[in-house]
Every structure is written in C-alpha cells, then in structure tokens.
Structure 1
Amino acid sequence: AVYVDEFRRGYFPDSCPPSSHIVLNFPEEGDRQKVTMHWMDGGIQPERPEELEPNEIMGDGGNGVLMIGDKGTMMCSTYGRNPRLLPTSLNEVIAVPETISRVPEGHYHQWVNGCLAGYGEMKMSSGFETAGPLTESILMGNLAIRSYDYLEQVTETYTDDTGVEKSRVRDTFPGRNIQLLWDGPNMKITNFEPANQFVKREYRDGWSLGI
C-alpha cells in the first residue's frame, strides 16, 4: 500500500504506483524446492544482510539482488552484475566454477543471429522455454498491482442522525488484502475473476489475433 496522506492509501488506476513490494510464491515441484521472490521498487529495500560488514554497500547502493538459500547468501548489483558470496570474504577462498556458457557477442546480437538462423536452428542462451515462464512471472507482478487498484462502487443505505434513511456510494477495492492464485496452464487467476480482464482482452471485430 502506498500512502499519499495521513491514513489515506493512494489510488493509481492509470499508472504504476510510485513504489511497490510484490511477493511471488513458486511452489515445490518435482526436485525443485519452493522459492519465494520479493520485488521491491520506489525506494523500498530488503533488510540488510547480517553477513555484510558495516561499511560494505548493499547491492550497488541503489539497486541489487539478494539470493538467500539454506546454505548461504549471494548478492548481486543491478541486472545481476558482480555476483558475490556473503560474507564477501568467502569470495577470496571459494572459486565457483563456470557452468553456464557466456554470450561474448552480447544478447542483442545473439537475438538477431537467432532470427536470421530461423526458429529451432540456433541454441539461445535464453530461449522461449526460459524467457516465456520468466516473462509470465514478471507480468504476474503487474497483475497484482492492477488487481490491487481494481475499483468497485457499491450503494449502501444508512440512517442519518435525524432518523432519515439515505443511500450513498462507497468505493471498495476487493483485490486488496488477498493472495492471487495463478493457473499457469490455463493462463488465469482462479480466485479473483476481475483480475482476468487484465490477462486477455476481448478484441473488436476484425482485430482478433486468432488465438
């Protein structure tokens, strides 16, 4: 929740909020353990890791990534640059082997080369099988933000101080203070139907994508 005044939450139906904290829960599946991901922006930052020395900078000072596991913590700068173990003294005694091939020509050039080669003709560092689910998870964050500001107006009756019954319109936000449940194979939210209007729109006649 973003507060724009004393005890008054902000409402941003046409733009992103000035800050947000989104939590994505990926359940255990097969040999993959449960993962909880926190996305924070607009100045919101996680708690400072205990492994950092008092004068060491968290991330790159403004942005960064923390990966907290059962056996330790890793910290990166913006976009995953400069990954290092915490405490940072471990980087002097532990050599992490390189298991993922690098992209010497850069991702942009690789993308162009892949387009020229044709679908399925070139192994990409981040193919559709990886980039698709990644994009889907990130868009879930936007879906949570849009659902948070979904507005419904309800009419309610009340009795004033003189005993006269009156009616008034009250703004409600049913997408707040709930957890959205995502059905990936069917591409829909299962427990809050209004959110699905942001997943797929109804196109006008003649503008359908045919899917």
Structure 2
Amino acid sequence: MSRKISRRSFITRSAACAVAVPLILSRKTPASASTQVLNHAAIGVTGQGTSDLEQIFSSGKVHVRALCDIDANNLEKAAVRYPGAKLYRDWREMLAKEGEYLDSINIATPDHIHAPSAMAAIRKKLHVFCEKPLTHEVYEARRLTEAAKEYGVATQMGIQIHSHDYYRTAVHWVKEGAIGKVKNWYSWSAAVYTTDDKKRPAHRDPVPAHVDWDLWVGVAPMRPYVREVYHPFYWRCWRDFGGGATGDFGCHIFDPVFTALNIGAPLTIECDAECYSEEVYPAWTIANYLFNGSDLTVGKTIEAVWMDGGKMPEKSVSPHLSEAYQLPKSGSLLIGEEGSLVIPHVGPPKLFPEEKFANYPAPELEPMNHYHDFVEAALGNRTAGAHFGFSGPMTEAVLLANIANRFIGEKLEWDAGALKFTNNKKANRYVKRRYRTGWHVKGL
C-alpha cells in the first residue's frame, strides 16, 4: 500500500506559488554552476530537520521537490513552507519514485535511519547532507565513507560548527604550532541521555493516527510505541535508536581536534561508565583512547579522553591553565609542549598561559555557511569541509565508545583496517547489527 500523502489535505498549489520557484534544470542536463538549481528532498522535516532544510534552501540554489516524514503533522507544517513539494511518509518510496529527478537530499531522522536512507540515496548518485552522528553503527560509517567515494557524490555531515569561526580559529592555531606538538587531549560534554530504571517499558500506548510507527522503527528491532519514551526526542537514550550523549555530541566536540591534528584511527579504547544496560546508555561515560598520531603530535600515538554526563577533567591536567580560569561545561582541552588550548562548545577558543598569548593574533577568516558549503559541493564547485571521507572515520572513533561502555574496565584493541576488535569477540557483535526483516538495504 502506498504511503504517499494526498496533497488535497494540505494546501492549494497556486500559480502564485509557482512563480517563486526558480527554473529547474534536469539533473541529467549539463549546466554551469551559475545557473544550476538543485532538485532537493528532505527526510525528517521537524526539529533539526526544519533548520537544516531552511538553511539549505536559503542558498537560493535549491528547489525543494519532495518531503518525507513518518509524522503527518510534521509533513503538513513543512508543506506550508514548501508548496509544490511532493509528500511521502516512507523514504524508500520517495527515493524509488523521485530519485531520478533529484540531485540532493538532507537527512535529519533518528540516528538508526541515517545510514539506510543515506546509502539508498548515494546509490542513486544523490548528494547527501546527513545529520550527526553520521551513523548508528561503526560498520555503517565505514560503508557510507566507501560508497560516497565509489559513487562520486558530494557529502556533508551536520556538524555545523565545523564551519564556525571559533572552531576554524582553533584549528588554525594548532596547525601553525601555537602550542607546539600536542601531547594529549580531553574532550567532554555536559549532556546526560539515560533513563532512571534502565529498562524498556512493560506497557504500550495506542499509536497516534498521525504517526507511522513501523516506519519510525525502520531497520531497528520492533519495539511497542510508548508515549514520550521514544518519539519524538527521547530515542537518543536508547541503544536501539540513538547514540546517547557520546553519539550526539562526540562528533561535534571531537571535530576541531580531528581537523587540526589529522590523527589516525584508534588503536585501543577502555571505558568507565555509570553502569551497564543492554537497553539504554549510561548517565556518564569516560572513554580512554589511544590513537595513531600525526606530524602534530609528540609521538607516534596520542592519548585522548572523552567524558560525558557532566564529567570533565581537572584543571591540574594542564600545567598552563590559570587558577582563576573555569573550564567550559562542554569542550576540548589540548595540552601541547609549549602551551594549552581550550575549545569551548560553542565559544571563542583560548590559549594558555594567558600572559604568553595575550596578544596572539587570530586568523582572518572568510565567513562560511556549513549548509551553503554543501550546496556548492553538490554543484561541483568545491569539496565540503565535513565530507564523509573526514566525518566517517571520526564517527567510527566516536561510536567505538558506545561499544566499549558495554565492557566496562576492559581495554579493547581495535584493528581499523579489518573493522574488528582483536581481543574481544563479544564486542565485535556490536560493530554491525542485523536489520529488521524487510528492511535490507543494498550496500549495508
């Protein structure tokens, strides 16, 4: 049965609306970047999805051809903003019917739908903007990275601050050697994503008429609908659907460090955590990483610590911070041979010792818009800053912590090339999961 929504229940498409739509060139028609307009679709059109689509549309180089959401109420609101767009509940149906007419797509669904929908779009040679974390599983991140390269499409992960002057300034300072080679670093988030009893609810509620619950669950194991437990936000707490605080903020906060240091894959990871639950993420996680280093690190490897749930490093870990300085609630601290750098999330970066760097110059940077960067990449004018070749491996590193916090106190040894742990077969079960029957996606 078709899940396409009849547009009669939404708004009248008038000639006046059509006038506002730019001339659309077929994706198969050669055109210069100055005249080309992308035929675009969105999967997930509320919350962050609303913002993402609005920003992409604001480039003036995008025509919104199709919208998809499992919630009819969300679709109705989006249809008012983008009259003329075709409306779907099922992203698979949308891509099957609209794919040949589309150039690009943005994805702002719960984490577990990121990889399946992105892979299906890439295999149709669509340019993809996908929210963070790029995927729910480590294996999915690797496959999306490979597929984007294979199909030659432009990509961008939704780590919007990648394009912000604050993060770009921090990256510039590290790359130009302001603090010398980096010895180690800490990254942390104040976010807490968990539940009180750490168990799935024993009851179920009626599914609202405007929600297609089967489509919401998608590739994940079927769970009964329970009001205000999964949809629309609390899915982030649950291992079946979200990534916890680590998944939600790790890609944001690791971003400037990965960009600056150009580090390799993790070699080992060991976690401490509030507790272990098969169902939900712990209230806090501390993940101790050992990464392959780079030319900007002191040695061939570099130690890093990720903390969330309000955990953060003591100021004493750096010999350069002043007594009066208070670390931000979320951010990163890089400790170098000649100084330290604090990168708040989100705020101006700061170099220490303060007296040494009091007049240290900030770089002159051209303004950047993360979404317009993607649009220009899709038009063939550049490579986007957070393309999957960069954001995919970083996502892998972040998601390894969500495996390691299942094995509290065990040091897991990671072979990135083979995509497996070499000393724990049980941990390898969580690198890739089996999709629900009927939801197989080619390429995954």
TM-score normalised to structure 1 length: 0.68
Q: Does 1:17 align with 2:282?
A: yes
Indicate the residue corresponding to 2:387 in structure 1: 127
Q: Does 1:41 align with 2:308?
A: yes
Q: Does 1:90 align with 2:356?
A: yes
> Aligned ranges for residues 95-174 of structure 1 at < 5 Å?
95=361, 97=363, 104-115=367-378, 117=379, 122-145=382-405, 147-148=406-407
Indicate the residue corresponding to 1:160 in structure 2: none
Residues 19 and 65 of structure 1, relative CA distance in 2, 3 Å threshold: same
Residues 31 and 57 of structure 1, relative CA distance in 2, 3 Å threshold: closer
In structure 2, distance between residues paired with 1:196 and 1:142: 12
Residues 15 and 204 of structure 1, relative CA distance in 2, 3 Å threshold: closer
Q: Larger relative CO (CA 8 A, sep 6+): 1 or 2? A: 2
In structure 1, distance between residues paired with 2:323 and 2:336: 22
1:18-68 Cα shifts (integer Å, max 9, x gaps): 11110111134688631211111112111203433332222x3x2221001
- Select which of 50, 53, 57 maps to 2:326: 57
- Specify every segment of 5 or more residues in structure 1 that has no aligned partner in the other structure, as ranges: 4-9, 149-175
Residues 135 and 207 of structure 1, relative CA distance in 2, 3 Å threshold: same
- Select which of 398, 405, 416 maps to 1:184: 416
- Select which of 408, 421, 432 maps to 1:200: 432
Residues 92 and 29 of structure 1, relative CA distance in 2, 3 Å threshold: closer
- Specify every segment of 5 or more residues in structure 2 that has no aligned partner in the other structure, as ranges: 1-271
Q: Does 1:26 align with 2:291?
A: yes
Q: Which structure has the highest helix share of the two?
A: 2
Q: Say what the alpha-carbon RMSD is for the aligned residues.
A: 2.6
Indicate the residue corresponding to 2:12 in structure 1: none
Deviation, 1:143, is 1.6
Indicate the residue corresponding to 1:7 in structure 2: none
In structure 1, distance between residues paired with 2:289 and 2:319: 24
In structure 2, distance between residues paired with 1:126 and 1:107: 9
Deviation, 1:206, is 4.7
Indicate the residue corresponding to 1:78 in structure 2: 345
Residues 205 and 11 of structure 1, relative CA distance in 2, 3 Å threshold: closer
Residues 133 and 2 of structure 1, relative CA distance in 2, 3 Å threshold: closer
Residues 202 and 11 of structure 1, relative CA distance in 2, 3 Å threshold: closer
In structure 2, distance between residues paired with 1:75 and 1:52: 9
Secondary structure in 2 matching 1:92: coil
In structure 2, distance between residues paired with 1:31 and 1:57: 27
In structure 1, distance between residues paired with 2:273 and 2:401: 16
Secondary structure in 1 matching 2:337: coil
What number of residue pairs does the alignment pair up? 168
Q: Partner amino acid for 1:85?
A: L
Deviates more, 1:181-190 or 1:106-115: 106-115
Deviation, 1:83, is 1.4
Residues 54 and 30 of structure 1, relative CA distance in 2, 3 Å threshold: closer
Q: Is contact 2:333–2:343 with CA below 8 Å preserved after alignment?
A: yes
Report % sequence identity: 30
Deviation, 1:74, is 0.8
Q: Partner amino acid for 1:70?
A: E
Larger-gyration structure (1/2): 1
In structure 1, distance between residues paired with 2:441 and 2:330: 38
Secondary structure in 1 matching 2:429: helix
Q: Partner amino acid for 1:111?
A: F
Q: Which structure has the highest strand share of the two?
A: 1
